[in-house]
């Protein structure tokens, strides 16, 4: 009798990150059950897996009870709107998936005696007063601002995850994800990478909020997934930052996209949105020490692949 495959459940499995994680797990020999209600995910992200006998897609909203007859080894909770456009348009569903969705995903992991990983976010740090941000920083979040629906949903999800770990002795992991980019991002999802690529490829001006001096740190998706995969395999239970510590201003990023596309474009400056972080850079000392992880893909290499992907969509 052949040994039973490791089975992973990926909530948000048709999303940008969830679909890349699914690909990685399948390549590692897992059976994968992807759960998604396609509110912000896209079936096209997983259509290449239609004939993979180790892959199953379940159309379901995880704010409702998750019932699976299968043996499950790992639950990876990635379901959530993740861009400002999405969570400002879907504030209540964002809060519900952070609360009820996390509760149901943890409940599934508890019932199946599975390891659990929460996809949290650098937004837990809010508009930070500490730079770079390390995992011991409690953040500077406006709980009643428009971004609070996402920030607080993730902070609550972290609290619930740690409560299950302490109370039920569950094997739980928390990854705080910083700005990530790559193929399968939605062109109109409002995040800076697809927005700028869309604008330059269509000959439109770059829209910069504020004066462009605010900073971000961009991590290519395969680097991120590698770090997350290592985190699940570890015995570490506190939050871990996964991101690229190479920081640049938004104006510098515009110049890089212009150079790579060879399409100069003018810039339009707009008012900075409320509570928009002025600085964003991960301290990845913990990931280096515990996981032996750091990003490998250069911005030029990753952006070229991403630009090429978006050229096929325009």
Q: Cα 308 from chain centroid?
A: 21
Q: Is residue 121 a contact partner of residue 176, using CB atoms and an 8 Å limit?
A: yes
Query: From CA 242, how far away is CA 220, in angstroms rounded?
Result: 11
Exposure string over 241-265, b if 16+ CB within 10 A, otherwise e: bbbbbebbbbbebbebbbebbeeeb
Inter-axis angle of helices 192-201 and 250-261, to 10 degrees?
40
Query: Which sequence positions are flagged as catalytic?
Result: 150
Would you call 14 exposed, middle or buried from its count of C-beta atoms within 10 A (0-12, 13-18, 19+)? buried
Mapping DSSP to helix (H, G, I), strand (E, B) and coil, where does residue 33 land? strand
Look at phi and psi of residue 134 and say left if phi exceeds 0, alpha if psi is from -120 to 50, else beta.
Answer: beta
> Which pair of structure tokens corresponds to residue 148?
């609070």
Where are the alpha helices (H) located in the chain, listed in sequence order? 16-27, 84-89, 91-96, 102-112, 148-168, 192-201, 221-233, 250-261, 285-291, 299-311
């Amino acid at each position: 009798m052949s040994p039973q495959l490791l089975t992973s459940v990926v909530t948000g499995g048709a999303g940008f990150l969830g679909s890349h994680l699914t690909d990685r797990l399948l390549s590692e020999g897992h059976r994968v059950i992807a759960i998604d209600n396609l509110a912000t995910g896209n079936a096209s992200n997983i259509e290449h897996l239609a004939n993979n006998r180790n892959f199953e897609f379940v159309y379901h909203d995880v704010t409702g009870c998750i019932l699976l007859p299968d043996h499950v080894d790992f639950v990876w909770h990635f379901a959530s709107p993740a861009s400002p456009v999405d969570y400002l348009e879907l504030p209540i569903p964002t809060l519900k998936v952070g609360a009820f969705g996390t509760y149901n995903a943890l409940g599934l992991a508890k019932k199946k005696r599975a390891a659990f990983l929460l996809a949290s976010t650098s937004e837990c740090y809010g508009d930070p007063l500490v730079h770079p941000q390390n995992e011991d920083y409690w953040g500077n979040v406006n709980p009643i601002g428009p971004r609070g629906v996402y920030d607080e949903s993730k902070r609550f999800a972290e609290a619930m995850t740690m409560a299950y770990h302490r109370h039920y002795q569950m094997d739980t992991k928390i990854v705080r994800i910083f700005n990530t980019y790559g193929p399968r991002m939605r062109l109109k999802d409002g995040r800076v990478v697809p927005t700028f690529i869309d604008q330059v490829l269509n000959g439109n001006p770059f829209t910069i909020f504020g004066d462009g001096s605010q900073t971000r740190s961009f991590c290519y998706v395969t680097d991120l997934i590698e770090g997350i995969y290592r985190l699940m395999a570890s015995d570490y239970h506190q939050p871990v930052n996964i991101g690229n510590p190479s920081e640049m201003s938004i104006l510098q990023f515009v110049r890089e996209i212009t150079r790579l596309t060879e399409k100069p474009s003018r810039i339009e400056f707009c008012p900075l949105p409320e509570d928009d972080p002025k600085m964003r850079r991960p301290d990845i000392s913990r990931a280096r020490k515990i996981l032996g992880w750091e990003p490998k893909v250069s911005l030029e290499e990753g952006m070229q692949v991403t630009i090429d992907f978006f050229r096929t969509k325009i």
